[in-house]
Chain A
Amino acid sequence: MGVVTKTEEFRPISRRTNQMNLFSLQFKESFRAPQWEAKLSIKIVMALVMLYFIGAFVLGASFIYPGLNKNVLTKEPLEVFNSVLVYLFFFEFILRFFLQQLPVTNIQSLILLPLKKSKIINQVLFRSVFSGFNLTPFIIYLPFAISMYRDDYLATQVAAWWMALVLTTLCINFIIYIINKDNRFFVGLLLLLASTVALDYYSIFDSGAWVGKAFDRVVEDTNYLALFVLLALCSYRLVYSFLKRGFYMDAGLKKKKTQVRGGGFAFLNVFGEDALFLKNDLRLVIRNARPRQIVVMSFLFLFYGLVFFPQEIYRNQPYVLAFAGMFVTGGFTLTFGNYVPAWDSSYYKLLMTQNLSYKNYLLSKWNLMAFVTAFCTLLAVPYVYFGWDVLAIIVAGSFFNIGLGTWITLFGGLLNKTPMKLNVKAKAFDNTQAFSLNQFLLTIPKMVLPVILYGLPAQFISPTAGILCLAGAGVLGILLRQQMATKITQLYIEQKHETIAAFNK
């Protein structure tokens, strides 16, 4: 409401206006997207977060070259970097598969208009080039290239090397269209990665070096760049024909009808009435793109400890240790809990008219988070490699996550009144879809609390006291879960109408 829309006159269609129309459509789509309607404060925060990440990458990447130079390596830094590129490419494929939302579905509304298919496809592919995922050449390769130039490479060599990487990124950008359409291709990709690693490990075939050589070659003789141009053109052509074949309502444009996954979960019936919601929550996670994405991300949190624990300087800093310890197992709670009840936004009206116990509903979300956190704790056991004290902090952190972190995020989720599109992947950089400043502020106690609970006693009494205090607080939260649930239930009921209205948008 409140948006003034100008109706445009109909003009006779000429070839040129056709092309212009497509672009103006695209322009409108971008600028009328819901994320632009987000509050200014959120936009600023998001912009800062984005700048932070870009800055971090650029800074990190600019240290690669000097870093490789410093070490006693028999090889040139460029050669070393080139030889790991293949793994970087694999990583990019996987990241894109999970996160990149491709603009293919928009074709449907254009299919009957007097536009040439080739024009539409070219336009879609052209647009995809401007995705945030194609920033890698700028945030990773460009800083490296600059370091090369400052060493003793010629400008033409550096430019050729960088262009080769830009072209490879474009190849990945196009090929991901095909991979994204069919999970079998993704499985194939994973198998390829596994076999690459295995062959490399047993020194049968070193694909890293092999791919690296191609990039070495470009530096030696810049004419080899032509090969990369050819490669990019071929992949463009491949995707082009792939899309053209799928240009029918019953082929590629059809929404994917998924096979039913996840059965009855009858074994959960032992939980009694709780099982009713727990079953649905499991199905929610298994069957929808967005929650699946969140689960994958929460497992990445498991590796967060690797940033801190191996480094001696942090070993005597209790505040940092508590922070890291909480994050290792806290990924799922943080990411999933923040979207309760938004996960159920598309059928919130149903829930609100059924004879259901709100408390059971909340407790089932709590159960799920507690279960996943416990599971993550099991997976985190290998951290014992860095010492029993590290494992103790992680376990204490996991108690905190189950006992208190869950309730804090459930409370935060209540403030999040943005409906959630379940089966749509979030875009990496413009995810204001469900982001609120309040919520952002609420993640602060979740991070600060363990730091205080562990840090203070550890600093002034002993690390053991810190661990006991952190774990104890969590156990208290677990014991008092009924009371906690009752309290939050009251808040949920108070906000009922506001939430329904917000989810209805």
Chain B
Amino acid sequence: MIEVNKLSKTYGDATVLSLDALSISKGEHFGLVGNNGAGKTTLFSLLLDLIQASTGTVTIGGVEVAKSEEWKKQTAAFIDENFLIDYLTPEEYFEFVAQLRKVDTHTLKDFLGRFEEFFNGEVLNQKKYIRDFSKGNQKKIGLAAAFIGQPELIILDEPFANLDPSSQIRLKNFLSSEENKATTLLVSSHDLNHVTEVCDRILLLEKGEVVKDTPKSAATLKELEAYFSGQ
């Protein structure tokens, strides 16, 4: 699904990301961990062609992202609040995204129905603009919108941050559920518990370089905890 080749990003003298090669296959649930400044958001931005790579290439579904826009048809992302149109109501926002992804109103309604529990009655029919929602509910809106139209690849930056405990658990269950089995999922998180639960492969970044890239096993969480506590 994703092929990364000799990818790097430098600002002046500082190299913020340097990846020799990375290959993520279809249906893989891929977790990205690392401290602040490790290069997680830079990697996501490069995958989505939001910033230009200094060297190297990214291809999604066989298309080089910097050259063609074909990849947009099968990709969705929620990186930060810059993915929300804050003067719309959630319904209008979902409708906008659905129309861009050619999802009809009926399918959208069905889709949102499945999010009822996750939304906890605080998102739909509130008659207010997204900018007036709390941070947590804004996050829920952005996350739900990313899944509209069943994109093949979904990229989520810190999806668990700002969510209340119940919502975190519901999100975890949703991400691991049957309907997302075939979806290629890229998730970054500071919460080692969540990310190891949801993902079946973990990449550990530090200062822009890969420290560890392993399939998840029973020992992964312990290893990560040991790494981050400096032992």
Q: Which of B48, B73, B88 contacts A280 (CB 8 A)?
A: B88
The stretch that binds B, out of A283-291, A311-319, A425-433, is A283-291
Q: Given the known A-B contacts A355-B72, A497-B51, A500-B51, are A349 and B79 also in contact in the complex, defined by CB atoms under 8 Å? A: yes
A354 partner residues in chain B, CB cutoff 8 A: 72, 97, 100-101
Q: Does B117 belong to the interface (CB within 8 Å)?
A: no
Assess A347 versus B72: contact at CB under 8 Å? Given A260-B89, A353-B77, A423-B131.
no
On whether the beta carbons of B96 and A349 are closer than 8 Å, the reply is no
Chain B's interface: helix, strand, loop or mixed, by majority?
A: loop
**Closest A-chain residue to B72, C-beta based?**
A355
Distance (whole angstroms) from the CB of A290 to the closest CB of chain B? 11
Q: Which of A348-392 contact B (CB under 8 A)?
A: 348-350, 352-356
> Would you call B214 an interface residue if the criterion is a C-beta within 8 Å of the partner chain's C-beta atoms?
no
B104 CB within 8 Å of chain A? no
Contacts of B127 in A (CB 8 A): 259-260
Question: Assuming A348-B82, A422-B87, A500-B51, is B99 touching A276 (CB within 8 A)?
Answer: yes
Residue ID in chain B nearest A498 by CB atoms: B52
Number of interface residues of A (CB under 8 A): 29
Are the CB atoms of B52 and A497 closer together than 8 Å?
Answer: yes
Are A349 and B87 within 8 A (Cβ)? Answer: no
Residue B174 at the chain A interface, CB threshold 8 Å = no
Main secondary structure of the interface of A (DSSP, over half): helix
Alpha-carbon distance between A500 and B72 when the two chains are bound, in angstroms: 16
Instruction: Check: B163 CB closer than 8 A to any chain A CB.
Output: no
Residue from the set B51, B77, B89, B92 with the largest chain A CB neighbour count within 10 Å = B92
| B28 contacts partner chain A, Cβ-Cβ < 8 Å | no
The complex places the Cα of A260 from the Cα of B77 at a distance, in Å, of 27
Q: Which residues of B sit under 8 angstroms from A483, Cβ to Cβ?
A: none
Please, which residues of chain A bring their CB within 8 A of the CB of B96?
Answer: 276, 280
Kindly report which residue of chain A lies nearest to residue B84, judged by CB atoms.
A347
CB under 8 Å from chain A, chain B span 125-150: 127-129, 131-132
Task: Give A259 to B84 CA distance when docked, in angstroms.
Answer: 19
Which chain B residues in 71-107 approach chain A with CB under 8 Å?
A: 72-73, 75-77, 79-80, 82-89, 92, 96-97, 99-101
Residues of A within 8 Å of B124, CB to CB, are: none
B169 at interface by CB-CB < 8 Å: no
| B100 and A355 contacting across the interface, CB-CB below 8 Å | yes
| B50 interfacial contact with A, CB 8 Å | yes
**Does the CB pair B77–A257 fall under 8 Å?**
no
Instruction: Please state if B48 and A350 are interface contacts (CB–CB under 8 Å).
Output: no
Partner of B129, one of A260, A264, A346, A356: A260
In the complex, what distance in Å separates the CA atom of A280 from the CA atom of B131? Answer: 15
Question: Is the beta-carbon distance between B51 and A347 smaller than 8 angstroms?
Answer: no
Query: A287 CA to B86 CA in the complex, in Å?
Result: 10
Top 3 closest pairs, chain A to chain B, by CB: A355-B72, A350-B83, A349-B82
Add 5 more A-B contacts to A347-B83, A347-B86 (CB < 8 A).
A288-B87, A349-B83, A353-B76, A353-B77, A355-B73
Q: Please list 21 pairs of residues, one from A and one from B, whose beta carbons are closer than 8 Å in the complex, sorted by A's number.
A: A260-B127, A260-B129, A264-B92, A276-B96, A283-B92, A288-B87, A348-B82, A349-B50, A349-B79, A349-B80, A349-B82, A349-B83, A350-B84, A352-B49, A353-B48, A354-B97, A355-B72, A355-B100, A496-B49, A497-B51, A504-B82
